[in-house]
Structure 1
Amino acid sequence: MSDSTKCFYEILGVSREAEEDEIQAAFEASKQVFEASKAAFEVLNDPKKRAAYDRQKENEKIDILEKLEENNLLHIRDQIFGALDDRDINNCSQVSKSWQIFMKFMRKKKLRMEMGEIGGAGHFWGNDKRAYYGGERDLMGEEELKKVLRLLAAGEKKINLKFWFCQNWEVAEAGWTIKFKTAYEGNGGDGKYFYLWISNKEGGAKFKATAQEINGGNGDEKNRRELQSKKDGTRQRIEYEIVAAYEFVRFNITFL
């Protein structure tokens, strides 16, 4: 296949909405993979070098285990073997900064593929009426929100969230927190605004959002607003005025 027929987005593993910094990070990760693969091939393709390398890594593993045993930390040893196979333990990339960057990028890519836009990865502008009436999804629950937070922790800049108009949520995962407060007075709201807070362990993350109210029966969209977050203590918050009182509230969010 010629270069002209390949999808450049697929080659770098980025979406069509990728920002410049994300494209640059993907390119740097690709270069690091190439250099690491080249170095690995030069060693593993030479029987003598490979044997010496295997002995070195085996000795390193033994040294680690001996130190754990000497310090009565066998429970840590058991956790290591429970979480990693021999290939991972012997992989020197675990202490490589460049590989840490690459693995973070790959985790983000994997999460994106698993979640898709309907799961909160990227922006979603599709039919958001109830799935019962032919929509592509229903509201997000705790597990879906946690996946979104893990995606943010992996470096994602664009997400989407969908809430039932009268519910309240506060979910924390991977150093990030999302809190949604309804405008519905029957559930503690002020009757005027929906509130959305997003924060991370560094103390906040500025974002902008396109907010919409969605009719659960026919997918009708009302009250589209472009909002910018404001600092609220250690968090960033947006206020979204209720107009239509439709069943769902959707936010397409970009972090700045």
Structure 2
Amino acid sequence: MFSSIAVLYTTVIYQPFLNVLVFFYWLIGLVTGGHPDMGIAVILLTILIRFLILPLSLSGYKSEKDRRAIAAKIKAIEEKHAGEPVLRKKLSRKVLNSSRGVLFGEIVSLVVQVAIALMLWRIFKTGLPGEDIHLIYSFMPKVELPFNLMFLGAIDLTHTSFRLNLIQSALIFLFEVLSMYTSIYKVSKDEVVRYQLVLPVVSFLIFMGLPAGKKVFVITALIFSIILKLIMVFRLKMEEHRLKKDAEEQMDASDTPVVQTVG
């Protein structure tokens, strides 16, 4: 069973994206006159993946309010029925059952993220070194092997990079600051410490040993997320401005005296 799932995963998910990566690599070589760069190909693949899962990303932002509402209801139940474990469990289950749409969306998003993570793990483990070259489609343009794994001619994608790790942690910090600054919910001091200070430092230490290729993917994904967040904030501000302007116009219209003429 597991072997069948692995074959299906390889055929449906891994192989197509590996070929897309190789195509980007070939295209870069064509544009640059014979100087392909796998690092840039990884950036293009990351952007493509983020666009493909954009509906899930937008759904995640929209469901934040629903998730917080569910958490608030369950917390209220736990506080109100602290001494009634059976009733507390029953009421909590009722809240979760009434919010299956939100939970299902979270599960789908998690499954997609796990599938992408597994795909990337295999790409960097066996795809870039050339071990999966047999999975390249026959109609794909030919590329020279081994792949050029020097990003911008300076960073080996198969080895760790202190510079990229530092950039990655800085972007995580920037994204968390932006998220909290634009949040419609009150941010606690614990959340500030946890997400703006602890998370970037822990991420720096955890990802220190990862190869630069994976960091290129994460950095590109973070930049995409930051840009998406800024666009959403801008649209929200524009919508608030429009609603405020409409409200002011309605107030002005209601304050204008009506002059009646007698014929």
- Give TM-score scaled by structure 2 length: 0.22
Q: Higher relative contact order by CA 8 Å / sep ≥ 6: 1 or 2?
A: 2
Structure (1/2) with the larger strand percentage: 1
Higher radius of gyration, 1 or 2: 2
Relative to the length of structure 1, the TM-score reads 0.23
